[in-house]
């Protein structure tokens, strides 16, 4: 019997401990510290949307308590009583307000606005309850008149015949601008070819200038030689040189001759540039991968 009694006693104590742990654990999860002394006050609101049990109660942003219970006042229809659990060391002067505020996410908290004075509330007193307008309510209240005025102005502007005429004129201007843009693009399309031709011409001019420089040097040498040469033979040589120069000039001006092609055909210049670029690429590749072009030397 004693053994059975001890087992039943242990089972009863275990169940009791588990119930206490469950009770205090639920309060702990709600943020309620049952081991910390607290005073209780009440506030009544008409709307507590967004407010939940264990919501913080703050003074100047500092948490001094939490919401312990939220109950509907059946004896006062349309009102909801909120029980506030505040730190026991906090003194609440009479005239203090419990302001219910809601943030942008819809979460509500209670902020205490403590009055001045030494006449404090008794524990269990009912505080002055105030619901502050939320952020969206403030924005709506401030912005709606401005939005209405703006919509009225936009409606008046849209119904003004001058706006339709302006839009028609703007369409004409845009059409003319598009036509002008097309014409300008057509006019500028040959510009790259003109620039290329000008570059080729400048190259030819430089070549001719170099030839003229060399020709001037030759003429100076000829003049020096003329002084020491007999006049007859000198004149004969000059005549021969003149004929040679004439032939050279004719060949230079003849587009079918080799010299004429060399002087007047820009494709030869571009081909030489391309060949030089290819040779440069080949030399770079030989430096990077010499084994591709030079077979390895076998040492016996």
Q: At what angle do helices 266-288 and 191-228 cross, to 10 degrees?
A: 100
CA distance linking residue 110 with residue 81, whole number of Å: 13
This prediction's pTM: 0.39
CA distance linking residue 46 with residue 79, whole number of Å: 5
- If you write DSSP's letter for every residue of 8-30 in order, what string do you get? HHHHHHHHHHHHHHHHHHHHHHT
Residue 91 and residue 39 in contact, taking contact as beta carbons nearer than 8 Å: no
Nearest to residue 239, comparing CAs of 227, 250, 226?
226
Q: What token pair was written down for 259?
A: 């010299």
Q: Which residues contact 86 (CB under 8 A, 6 or more apart)?
A: 38, 39, 40, 41, 57, 64, 65, 92, 112
pLDDT, mean of each 10-residue run, the chain (300 residues) = 66 75 58 61 91 90 90 91 91 92 85 90 91 62 70 73 73 82 77 70 81 82 68 74 79 66 66 78 78 62
Question: How far, in Å, are 152, 217, 259 from residue 245 at the CA level?
Answer: 90, 14, 13
DSSP H or E segment with residue 83: strand 80-87
pLDDT at 300: 46
Residue 103 and residue 137 in contact, taking contact as beta carbons nearer than 8 Å: no
pLDDT at 227: 67
pLDDT at 107: 85
Give the distance, in angstroms, between the CA of residue 101 and the centroid of all CA atoms in the same chain. Answer: 35
Q: What token pair was written down for 29?
A: 């999860």
Pairing of strands 80-87, 38-45: antiparallel
Question: How far, in Å, are 73, 269, 280, 283, 293 from residue 275 at the CA level?
Answer: 99, 10, 9, 12, 19
DSSP H or E segment with residue 197: helix 191-228
CA distance linking residue 134 with residue 178, whole number of Å: 52
DSSP H or E segment with residue 248: helix 231-253
């Amino acid at each position: 019997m004693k053994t059975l009694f001890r087992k039943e006693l242990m089972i009863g104590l275990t169940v009791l401990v588990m119930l206490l742990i469950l009770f205090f654990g639920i309060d702990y999860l709600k943020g309620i510290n049952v081991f910390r002394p607290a005073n209780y006050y009440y506030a009544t609101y008409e709307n507590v949307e967004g407010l939940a049990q264990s919501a913080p109660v703050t003074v100047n942003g500092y948490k001094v308590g939490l919401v312990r219970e939220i109950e509907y006042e059946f004896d006062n229809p349309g009102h909801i009583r909120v029980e506030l659990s505040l730190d026991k060391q906090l003194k609440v002067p009479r005239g203090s307000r419990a302001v219910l505020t809601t943030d942008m996410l819809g979460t509500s908290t209670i902020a205490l606005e403590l009055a001045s004075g030494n006449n404090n509330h008794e524990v269990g007193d009912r505080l002055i309850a105030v619901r502050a307008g939320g952020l969206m309510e403030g924005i709506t209240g401030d912005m709606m008149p401005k939005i209405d005025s703006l919509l009225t102005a936009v409606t008046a502007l849209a119904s003004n015949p001058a706006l339709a005429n302006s839009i028609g004129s703007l369409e004409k201007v845009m059409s003319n601008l598009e036509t002008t843009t097309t014409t300008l693009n057509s006019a500028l399309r040959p510009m790259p070819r003109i620039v290329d031709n000008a570059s080729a011409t400048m190259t030819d001019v430089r070549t001719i200038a170099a030839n003229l420089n060399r020709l001037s040097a030759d003429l100076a040498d000829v003049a020096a030689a003329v002084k020491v040469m007999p006049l007859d033979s000198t004149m004969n040589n000059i005549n021969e040189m003149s004929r040679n120069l004439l032939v050279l000039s004719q060949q230079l001006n003849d587009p079918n001759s080799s010299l004429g092609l060399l002087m007047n055909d820009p494709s030869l210049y571009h081909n030489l540039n391309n060949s030089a670029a290819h040779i440069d690429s080949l030399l770079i590749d030989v430096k990077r991968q010499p084994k591709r072009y030079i077979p390895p030397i076998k040492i016996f």
